[in-house]
Amino acid sequence: MEDHSGLFYFPMPFAEIPLAAKTDALAELFGPLLNEYVHVAGIIVSNDARRRLPLPLDEDAPRPAAQGFRRGLPLDRVRETIVIPRRILLPEQTSLIARMGDAEAAALDWALGKLGVPGGVTSLLADSSTPPRVSPLWTP
């Protein structure tokens, strides 16, 4: 479920609520649904990456019924992902999703490195000294 700021409408910005509290609240909200719909293995709620500078430090919120991740993404984006698995016996059943959330911030730089692009995302950005390109097709 991708949240474009419609899921969490509160008088105070949801971004100010601690990640652990959000993780617990979503686990409490969606837990009964997982019990009712046994064919669903879990629910992942991920917000639309919002802009923020400076980027916050990575934060993890491992809770009894869910896991929360906050990651600064390349340039100026921050994403929060909360994984609410079904009550399962083997944690490796959801570990792939947890590992993906944990490594999201470095994924683009890793992929660009595999493609032979040194310097990752930053190397793709034009600095302010680059003259504007003149072309009828170019739209800055």
> Is position 8 within any domain?
yes
Q: Do the domain assignments include residue 116? A: yes
Give the DSSP H or E segment for 102.
helix 92-114
Report how far Cα 32 is from the mean position of its chain's Cα atoms: 24
> What's the pTM?
0.66
The helix or strand, by DSSP H or E, that contains position 100, with its residue range, turns out to be helix 92-114
The dihedral sign for the CA sequence 74, 76, 77, 78: positive
**Overall domain count for the chain:** 1
pLDDT of residue 99: 79
- pLDDT of 125 reads 75
Burial class (CB in 10 A: 0-12, 13-18, 19+), 47: buried
Q: Is residue 131 part of a domain?
A: no
| Structural domain boundaries enclosing 112 | 2-123
Q: How far apart are CA 16 and CA 71, in angstroms?
A: 15
pLDDT tens, per residue, the chain with 140 residues: 555 555 554 444 555 789 999 999 999 999 888 888 888 888 888 886 677 888 889 899 999 889 999 988 888 888 888 989 887 655 666 677 777 777 887 888 888 889 888 888 888 776 645 555 565 665 55
Q: Can you give the pLDDT at residue 103?
A: 81
94 within domain boundaries: yes
Whether residue 13 is contained in a domain is answered as yes
How far, in Å, CA of 110 to CA of 100, rounded? 13
